[in-house]
Chain A
């Protein structure tokens, strides 16, 4: 285990009690977020992104695997364990309307967070609150207001300030921009990048907004039905997505500047399967545009579980027939179903072509 590593997940599995038995929401996820960097986690709803976030901050407990922060594992469910983890990892929620206690002023919320682990004198507490507000670009006059007297963007900034008040080593941002307007969203993203540069925390940025993810992330991980199907440096993933699911996802993003999407482009077939009974083999194979339903002879997809390539590779994908890196990115001109996919299945662990 490396020193100075931010957040690391090793084969983390989280199960929920569903109405019809346990549901594996996160299944054997390994991920590394070094200090000072951001990993973007994308995927559709139900893919387990938020469960993973809750597991990282200790609101859900994984039933298998390890989660380490700074090389240390924080286990246990007692209040003292909780507090030790809380000093290291903080979470910012999706909805700024509900993330702040509506009956507490901004000052009270921030004071509570700032004083959660260290005892602060009255004067130093005021200074700390002023500093936190300045950090997130709010003026000191906001301190006396209640959340409902702030705009959505301001509320989300307060939520970020509250999370940063304890000086965490890891910040988990769960869909923090999806409830905000575009003009406000851009400012918040810029602020987050700036804060990270100054404070050096590791960030797990969860979103289904690929453009936002691209803007803040160094590495992007794509999740489908509880598994990570592709991990790669941001530009590498966006320019040369190799997993067919990633390609479909990218091609679905509407773009303002790239012009109108040609009609009749293939849509993702079928419905997302029930996470309680995921398909065998590759979990994407029933909907895959290059899978056994479209290419006869690719039975391996339905039978064998593809594993991610060697961990040393910067661009990893869990697919038996990944597309080559030189294929055109989908948002530059549609998915090319016929261009991707090698003739032979690649065995797991073998270096990619």
Chain B
């Protein structure tokens, strides 16, 4: 943050941050909600104070009157003013509803949250109890208990609390189960923390927000239900009264005087809607806090470099930049990446997390997440410029010429569709291949990735396969279209070393057989050095070095590459010497400070490094470095280099 305090981006990001944290009260719905709740609160207090006496004063001379100037809503059978009764009943109606909701919520939440902290047997019993309680319709339960507790306000509140508790218990149980499965809960258990502490410290704070929302909404329903009980004669008993009772009494003469019945009905609906709206606004505010806020970016697109198209290149990109809005402001994960892939070439893209390698891949495949925007000086795929073609043409070219393999094979497939459907859908959609022919092609591809089972495998669903099998299916599916370029984003990170070897072998075969170019993204330098022809090293959103893979171990010239190589633990290295590490942290993704992104961690930095960004420039055959003072190319092992740096 120190860096960014100077930069224009930080000041631009700041208003975004405040706006992102502002709840939804300023929206029209928020204003209406506030007004409705405010009016209810005023009525609840003022109603009892100003009209309380008038509401209880009988007037034998004016019994069962219709609306007049003195009595706007008329009078009841004892001649009491109905408007006064309606207004002074506000708090008599709202308070029990809120009380019933709170009681029910407290009981239900306790019951539900307990399931997260008790042992397996008690959890099953509690779960069964909650299911059993949920099986009874809430209103029936409320009526049963209201009758059991005896008619009256207290009985109705108790009955309603009992009726709404199971719903809360179920919601809480579901929410708490998500928390109970987390590692931090397991860590707290390993620490031997007591149950009440687990509950209060770790479970409840995480589920408080959704529970508050459902409590608010439930208060609205409780009001309606309570009025219903009063209406049925199970709730408040005369001489006490609430809206439900007023409605019930008004209903006796609804055909002669509709207003005494309609007015309490309107009051009930008004209050219930106010509670529902409050829930909506709270939910909106919670959602806004977690949603990133788009920020206007100056569309500064650098002048086009206009490098001539090369027939040999599958993909050429110059000065690719990506901006990504987040809740904390706009970050620039990719800041000018230039790369080119030849036909049949396997290029590794290495870098640490946050270096922008995955977003580079997604930008190339036109798969950036919502809100993210990419700009470039040149973007040429299969010789066709991205500028000179429509979005539809570009998409079509990407769909047939490019395939992606993702890190997590578990989520790369739709779990509900059969493998065969997912493998054949691309050729059927883009090439119009008939189904039978597509299936034959899929079988050929599966044989190529050494997956036995043929048609049986095509009929299976993704969850029936192991991680390694799924990744092989992903490769088979990717090669269905015979793409010119495959982007493999950490395809083996989730897999074991033995399976990793199988996958690497397959990728090599795909490359050899179809002359497919492969962009292989990984953080595993040893793997990339072993598998690829060329390696691009990314740091802070730019490519800092482009070198032949065989030179990576000893021939790297950028200080970052050298240090990265040195920090890789090796099976052959001396164990007793401490592993060299890179001091300092990764660059600030918000920052837009000038100079080399690595300069504050670089042991070889020059004065120039802090003020001027180095550009990727050729050093030797097939070797480019973005550094003002590239290290000498003497074939020294990288290890010594970093130890020097540490001293």
For B119, B206, B578, which residue has the most chain A Cβ atoms within 10 angstroms? B578
Q: Is residue B12 within 8 Å, beta carbon to beta carbon, of the partner chain?
A: no
Once the chains are docked, how many angstroms separate the CA of A226 from the CA of B500? 21
A113 contacts the other chain (CB 8 A): yes
* Bound: A99/B190 CA distance, A: 12
Q: Whole-angstrom distance from the CB of A269 to the nearest CB of chain B?
A: 9
Q: Does B68 contact A (CB under 8 A)?
A: no
Whether B579 sits at the interface, judged by CB under 8 Å, is yes
**Do the beta carbons of B192 and A85 come within 8 Å of each other?**
yes
Which residue of chain B is the closest to A58 with respect to CB atoms?
Answer: B190
Say yes or no: B581 contacts A187, CB within 8 Å.
yes
Q: Which residues from 58 to 104 on chain A have a C-beta closer than 8 Å to any C-beta of chain B? A: 58-59, 77, 79, 82-87, 89-91, 93-95, 98-104
- With a cutoff of 8 Å between Cβ atoms, the chain B residues found around residue A84 in the complex are 192
Flag B284-320 by CB within 8 Å of A: 1 or 0 each: 0000000000000000000000000000000000000
Interface residues in A140-159 (C-beta closer than 8 Å to B): 151-152, 159
- B498 pairs with A215, CB closer than 8 A: no
Distance of A175 from chain B, by nearest CB (Å): 11
Q: Is the CB of B496 within 8 A of A44?
A: yes
B428 at the interface (CB under 8 A from A): no
Indicate whether A199 reaches chain B with its CB closer than 8 angstroms: no
A331 CA to B502 CA, complexed, in Å: 17
Smallest Cβ-Cβ distance to A172: which chain B residue: B190
CA of A195 to CA of B610, assembled, Å: 36
Confirm or deny: B195 has a beta carbon within 8 angstroms of a beta carbon on chain A.
Answer: yes
The size bracket of the interface on B is 35 or more
Asked if A302 is an interface residue, CB under 8 A from chain B, the answer is: no
Inter-subunit contact B496/A215 (CB<8 Å): no
**A260 close to B530 (CB less than 8 A):** yes
Q: Which residues of B contact A86 (CB under 8 A)?
A: 190-192
Report how far A86 CA is from B197 CA in the complex, Å: 15
B498 in contact with A248 (CB, 8 Å): yes
* B589 CB, min distance to chain A CBs, angstroms: 11
- The answer to whether A190 touches B468, judged by C-beta atoms less than 8 angstroms apart, is no
Binding stretch for chain B, among A29-37, A121-129, A249-257: A249-257
Interface residue ranges of B547-573 to A (CB < 8 Å):
550, 552-553, 563-565, 567-573
Residues of B within 8 A of A331 (CB): 571-572
Other contacts beyond A151-B585, A211-B571: 8, CB < 8 A: A45-B495, A99-B187, A185-B569, A190-B578, A211-B568, A249-B498, A255-B571, A271-B468
The answer to whether the Cβ of A210 comes within 8 Å of any Cβ in the partner chain is yes
Which of B88-96, B105-113, B178-186, B375-383 lines the interface with chain A?
B178-186
B189 interface residue (CB < 8 Å to A): yes
Query: Which residues of chain B come closer than 8 Å to A159, judged between CB atoms?
Result: 187
Give me 18 A-to-B residue pairs in the complex whose CB atoms sit less than 8 angstroms apart, sorted by A's number: A46-B466, A59-B190, A86-B192, A91-B190, A112-B188, A181-B523, A182-B524, A184-B581, A208-B496, A211-B571, A252-B501, A254-B524, A254-B529, A256-B553, A258-B572, A267-B498, A267-B502, A268-B501
Q: Could you tell me if B571 and A210 are in contact, using CB atoms closer than 8 angstroms?
A: yes
B residues near A (Cβ < 8 Å) are 119, 182-184, 186-195, 201-202, 205-206, 352-353, 466-469, 495-502, 505, 508, 523-527, 529-531, 550, 552-553, 563-565, 567-573, 575, 578-582, 585-586, 637
B524 partner residues in chain A, CB cutoff 8 A: 182, 254
Q: Which of A58, A82, A98 is close to B184, meaning CB atoms less than 8 Å apart?
A: A98
Q: In the assembled complex, which residues on chain B have CB atoms less than 8 Å from the CB atom of A209?
A: 569
A238 at the interface (CB under 8 A from B): yes
Who on chain B is nearest to A194 by CB? B578
Check: A162 CB closer than 8 A to any chain B CB.
yes
B468 vs chain A, min Cβ distance (A): 7
Partner of B530, one of A57, A87, A151, A261: A261
A101 adjacent to B202 (CB under 8 Å): yes
Give Cα A121–Cα B206 distance, bound, in whole angstroms.
Answer: 28
User: In the complex, what's the smallest C-beta–C-beta distance from A190 to chain B, in angstroms?
Assistant: 5
A98 touches B552 (CB 8 A): no
A9 contacts partner chain B, Cβ-Cβ < 8 Å:
no
In the assembled complex, the Cα of A258 lies from the Cα of B501 at a distance in Å of 16
Residue of chain A at shortest CB distance from B351: A181
User: How far is B572's CA from A258's CA once the two chains are assembled, in angstroms?
Assistant: 8
Q: Is the CB of B572 within 8 A of A257?
A: yes
**A98-B182, A101-B202 known; A44 and B571 CB under 8 Å?**
no
B184 engages A99 (CB within 8 Å): yes
Q: Is A15 an interface residue (CB 8 A)?
A: no
Q: Which residues of A contact B467 (CB under 8 A)?
A: 45
A52 interfacial by beta-carbon distance below 8 Å: no
Collect the chain A residues with CB atoms within 8 Å of residue B469's CB.
Answer: 271
A166 at the interface (CB under 8 A from B): yes
Also in contact, A252 and B500, with CB within 8 A (given A82-B189, A152-B353, A271-B468)? yes
A93 in contact with B186 (CB, 8 Å): yes
Contact between chains at A253 and B497 (CB < 8 Å): yes
> Which of chain A's residues have a CB closer than 8 A to the CB of B498?
44, 248-249, 252, 267-268
Provide the A37-53 mask, 1 if CB < 8 A to any CB of B, else 0: 00000001110000000
In whole Å, how far is B582's beta carbon from the nearest beta carbon of chain A? 4
Please, which residues of chain A bring their CB within 8 A of the CB of B202? 101
Once the chains bind, are A82 and B567 in contact (CB under 8 Å)? Answer: no
Contact A59-B563, Cβ < 8 Å, known A186-B581, A210-B497, A211-B571: no
Contact B563 A112 (CB under 8 A): no
Q: Which residue of B lies closest to A180 (CB)?
A: B353
* Chain B residues near A163 (CB-CB < 8 A): 187
B474 CB to closest chain A CB, in angstroms?
Answer: 16
CB contact between A211 and one of B191, B201, B501, B569 (< 8 Å): that residue: B569
- Chain A nearest CB: distance from B533 CB in Å? 11
Q: Is the CB of A255 within 8 A of B526?
A: yes
Q: A183 touching B569 by the CB < 8 A rule?
A: no
Q: Which of A95, A248, A256 is B525 in contact with, Cβ under 8 Å?
A: A256
Whether B187 contacts A162 by the Cβ 8 Å rule is yes
Minimum CB–CB distance for B332 against chain A, Å:
18
Contact for B186 among A59, A234, A254, CB less than 8 A: A59
Bound complex: CA A248 to CA B352 (Å): 28
Contact across chains for B563 and A252 when beta carbons are under 8 A apart: no
Let me know if A252 and B497 touch, CB within 8 A: yes
Q: Is the CB of B572 within 8 A of A255?
A: yes
Partner of B579, one of A46, A189, A250, A332: A189
Are B183 and A95 interface neighbours, CB within 8 A? yes
Separation in Å of the A51 CB from the closest CB of chain B? 13
The reply on A117 being an interface residue by CB < 8 A is: yes
Q: At the interface, yes or no: A325 with Cβ under 8 Å from chain B?
A: no
Question: Shortest beta-carbon distance, A239 to chain B, in Å?
Answer: 10
**Taking the complex as formed, is A214 at the interface, i.e. its CB lies under 8 A from any CB of chain B?**
yes
Binary CB contact string for chain A from 223 to 244 against chain B (1 if under 8 A, 0 otherwise): 0000000000011001000000
Asked if A55 is an interface residue, CB under 8 A from chain B, the answer is no
Beta-carbon contact of A112 and B501 below 8 Å: no
Q: How far is the CA of A293 from the CA of B585 in the complex (A)?
A: 51
The answer to whether B567 touches A182, judged by C-beta atoms less than 8 angstroms apart, is yes
A255 to B565, CA, bound (A): 11
Q: How far is the CA of A260 from the CA of B551 in the complex (A)?
A: 11
